[in-house]
Amino acid sequence: MSRATLLVLADGRFPAGGHAHSGGAEAAVAAGRVTGAADLAEFCRGRLHTSGLVAAALAAAAALGTDPLQLDEAADARTPSAALRTAARKLGRQMMRAARATWPSAELDALASARPRGAHQPVVLGLAARSAGLGPEDAAYVAAYESVSGPATAVVRLLSLDPFDATAVLARLAPDLDRVAADAAECARRVPEEGVDALPASSAPLLDIGAEAHAAWAVRLFAS
């Protein structure tokens, strides 16, 4: 694997639509659950170990070559909020466009044809990593990191939080990120024998509820 390729895929400026989403942070800020750097750290830790872990495992499984359509169904089953399923498919479609432009492959084309409205983002991300020559750990790292970097960036905009504090929050999460990425890749390796049920299904009900409420707002800064 090329370490530099991993940097390209993990770059927050990779043009795959993430900038318009807050990962639930906008709803949490409005509800008064995130008011500063300390809350942001807890919010990110919670998201990382729930939906972040699920996303990382799906991405790792896709990077290993698991049937993406089967993983897409597994992602649906693990995403109870309709608003979050919509957001995940929207972002998956945007990730697909960027991935096909940067690391074209027959596998990406096949998934794009099968899911023209978008597959779940972590599945597309994992397949993009595979097309880029990256492995399951790499894909898991990118998905896990995205699950916290998105909310951190959004909270900087929403609360005018000091960007140095927000970045420090992400840096302190590094050991957690290592663990989540390793766990995710290990689960993904069990899929060939045990099927997609080997993938984690942890959830964060408050994120789901917040996402449903947020989707109904008339005025909002972020798409999700």
Partner 1 sequence: MHLDHSHASDGPAALSADAVRPDGRRRALRIGLGGPVGSGKTATVAALCRALRDELSLAVVTNDIYTREDAAFLLREAVLPPERIMAVETGACPHTAIRDDISANLEAVEDLETVFAHEGVGPLDLVLVESGGDNLTATFSRGLVDAQLFVIDVAGGDDIPRKGGPGVTTADLLVVNKTDLAPYVGSDLQRMARDAKEQRAELPVVFQSLRSPAGVSEVAAWVRERHAAWTAA
- Interaction residues for partner 1, span 112-141 (CB under 8 A): 112-117
Q: Are the C-beta atoms of residues 6 and 141 closer than 8 Å to each other?
A: yes
| 100 or 179: CB nearest partner 1 | 100
| 163 or 205: CB nearest partner 1 | 163
| x-marked contacts with partner 1 along 199-218 as a string, rule CB under 8 A | -------------------x
How many residues contact partner 1, by CB under 8 A?
32
Shortest CB 23 distance to partner 1, Å: 11
Minimal CA–CA distance to 123: which of 185, 61, 176, 167?
61
Q: Applying CB under 8 A, does 8 fall inside the site for partner 1?
A: no
Q: Applying CB under 8 A, does 219 fall inside the site for partner 1?
A: yes
Q: Are the C-beta atoms of residues 150 and 23 closer than 8 Å to each other?
A: yes
Contacts of 202 by beta carbon, 8 Å cutoff, 6+ apart:
49, 50, 51, 53, 54
| x-marked contacts with partner 1 along 88-107 as a string, rule CB under 8 A | -xx--xx--xx-xx------
Q: Are the C-beta atoms of residues 182 and 56 closer than 8 Å to each other?
A: no
- 3-class SS of residue 88: helix
- 3-class SS of residue 81: coil
Residues that bind partner 1 (CB under 8 A): 13, 15-22, 89-90, 93-94, 97-98, 100-101, 109, 112-117, 154, 157, 218-223
